[in-house]
Structure 1
Amino acid sequence: MRELIDSVHRLDGARGANAYLIEAADRSVVVDTGVASGGQRLVAELRAARIPAITDVVITHYDPDHIGSAAAVQRETGATVWLGAADARILRGEVPPPTRTRRVMRRMSRPDRAEQPQLTELSDDSETEIVPGLLVVPAPGHTPGHHLVRWRGVAFIGDAALVSKGRLRHLPGPLISDRGQADATLAAITALRPRLVLPGHGRAGRLD
Structure 2
Amino acid sequence: MREVTDSIHRLDAARGGNAYLVEAGDRSVLVDTGLASGGEKVVAELAAARILPVMDVVLTHYDPDHVGAAAAVQRATGATVWLGAADVRILRGDALPPTRTRRAMLRMRWLGKPELPELTALPDDAETEIVPGLVAAPGPGHTPGHHIVWWRGAAFIGDAARVSGGRLVNFPGFLISDRAQADATIAAISASRPRLILPGHGVPDRLAPAD
Q: State the TM bucket, normalised to the shorter chain.
A: over 0.9
Partner residue of 2:149?
A: 149
Measured after TM superposition, the shift of residue 110 of structure 1 is: 2.2
Q: Partner amino acid for 1:53?
A: P
Q: Is this contact kept in 2: 1:36–1:68, CA < 8 A?
A: yes
Q: Partner amino acid for 2:186?
A: L
Is residue 200 of structure 2 the alignment partner of residue 200 of structure 1? yes
Partner residue of 2:123?
A: 123
Aligned partner of residue 107 in structure 1, secondary structure: helix
Counterpart CA distance in 2 for 1:196 and 1:126 is 23
Aligned partner of residue 56 in structure 2, secondary structure: strand
TM-score by length of 2: 0.97
Q: Give CA deviations for 1:45-82 in whole Å, capped at 9, x if unaligned.
A: 00001101100000000000000000000000000000
Partner residue of 2:110?
A: 110
Counterpart CA distance in 2 for 1:68 and 1:32 is 9
Aligned partner of residue 203 in structure 2, secondary structure: coil
Partner residue of 1:40?
A: 40
Measured after TM superposition, the shift of residue 108 of structure 1 is: 1.1
Which region of structure 1 is more displaced relative to structure 2, 175-184 or 98-107? 98-107
Which region of structure 1 is more displaced relative to structure 2, 110-119 or 46-55? 110-119
Measured after TM superposition, the shift of residue 109 of structure 1 is: 2.1
TM-score by length of 1: 0.98
Aligned partner of residue 108 in structure 1, secondary structure: helix
Counterpart CA distance in 2 for 1:204 and 1:52 is 23
Aligned partner of residue 157 in structure 2, secondary structure: strand
State how many pairs are aligned.
208
Which structure 2 segments of 5+ residues have no match?
none
Aligned partner of residue 76 in structure 1, secondary structure: helix
Measured after TM superposition, the shift of residue 136 of structure 1 is: 0.3
Q: Partner amino acid for 2:68?
A: G
Moved over 3 A (4+): 111-114
**Same amino acid, percent of matched pairs:** 71
Q: Is this contact kept in 2: 1:64–1:111, CA < 8 A?
A: no
Superposition CA RMSD, Å:
0.9
Q: Give CA deviations for 1:72-115 in whole Å, capped at 9, x if unaligned.
A: 00000000000000000000111111111111111212265561
Partner residue of 1:23?
A: 23
Aligned partner of residue 120 in structure 2, secondary structure: strand
User: Structure 1 residues 8 and 192, CA, compared in 2 at 3 Å: closer, same or farther?
Assistant: same
Counterpart CA distance in 2 for 1:111 and 1:73 is 21
Q: Is this contact kept in 1: 2:160–2:182, CA < 8 A?
A: yes
